[in-house]
Amino acid sequence: MKKEMMLVGAISLLFLAGCQTKNIMDNISINGQNKSTVMTEEHARAIALEVAGFEGGDLASDKGSYNANSKTWWFDVDLPNTPEGCHPASVVYEDTGVGKINWRCTGLKTEENINGNFSLGNEQVDVAVREYLQNQNNFCWQTVEGSKKICVFEKLDSNELFPHYLWVRCGEFVKNGEEVVEESGSSLPAEISYPNELSFFDIDMFTHRIPRDGSLYGEDIKSIFSAELQDRVLQYDATVINEKILETAKAEL
């Protein structure tokens, strides 16, 4: 009887193992730990294709890209009814084998973005970029206790995804009676980058490049900005963005 129970138990375990979906990695497990955390591109592609199929789509390419930081495989996908401004990918997590769609949406163009270009087209992105700029000493600093740091930017490029090329205007403002006064500030072009595969915004993951001062300014402009943007940067008129930051400061103080 004991042998029969052990045999039934073994058959049950085999049956359960056979019912696992592709969301579970095929790696051999020893004491509950994966023997290998490396998933082949072929294995990841099969899962990505299945995930895309659930959404009624297909892989846009058989070629995937691997992100070592998040331990994920990314495959571009073609999905029906993809919203404007979105570039969906099928993402497979190496440690679990779970796959899901990341829409990678930058959002629709807002009226402000169309008219003034003082937005990246998505409020969540705008807030994250402004918060990042306000916390970088290259752009913003505080010299007066109780002052408020404010940053605005104008989008110079036509990119839907990062990196973005901006004219950044930051300032430190205080209110003196009914008057809003700028105590310190900066105005400069910048490249702002962020991992496009992430669907959330962490200001610690933003990076930027800005030109150096003096004789190196022109050299860095050529290094950072594309040929089509270089003239716009070198001839930038800050009149409107200066009005924009003052208007923002008056509204927030």
Q: Which among 64, 79, 102 is the end of a domain?
A: 102
Q: What is the pLDDT along the chain (253 residues), one digit of tens a residue?
A: 444 444 344 434 433 333 333 333 333 222 333 333 578 999 999 999 999 998 899 999 888 888 776 678 889 999 998 877 677 889 898 888 899 887 776 444 444 444 448 999 888 899 999 999 999 999 999 999 999 999 999 999 989 899 999 999 999 999 999 999 999 999 999 999 999 888 788 888 999 999 999 999 999 999 999 998 998 899 898 999 999 999 999 999 9
CB 181 within 8 A of CB 173: yes
Statement to judge: residues 119 and 34 lie in one domain: no
Q: Which among 73, 102, 131 is the end of a domain?
A: 102
Rounded CA separation 76/61 (Å)? 6
Statement to judge: residues 30 and 134 lie in one domain: no
Statement to judge: residues 83 and 137 lie in one domain: no
Statement to judge: residues 92 and 58 lie in one domain: yes
Statement to judge: residues 46 and 166 lie in one domain: no
Range of the domain at 80: 23-102
* 3: in domain: no
Rounded CA separation 222/11 (Å)? 68
Statement to judge: residues 240 and 129 lie in one domain: yes
Statement to judge: residues 125 and 246 lie in one domain: yes
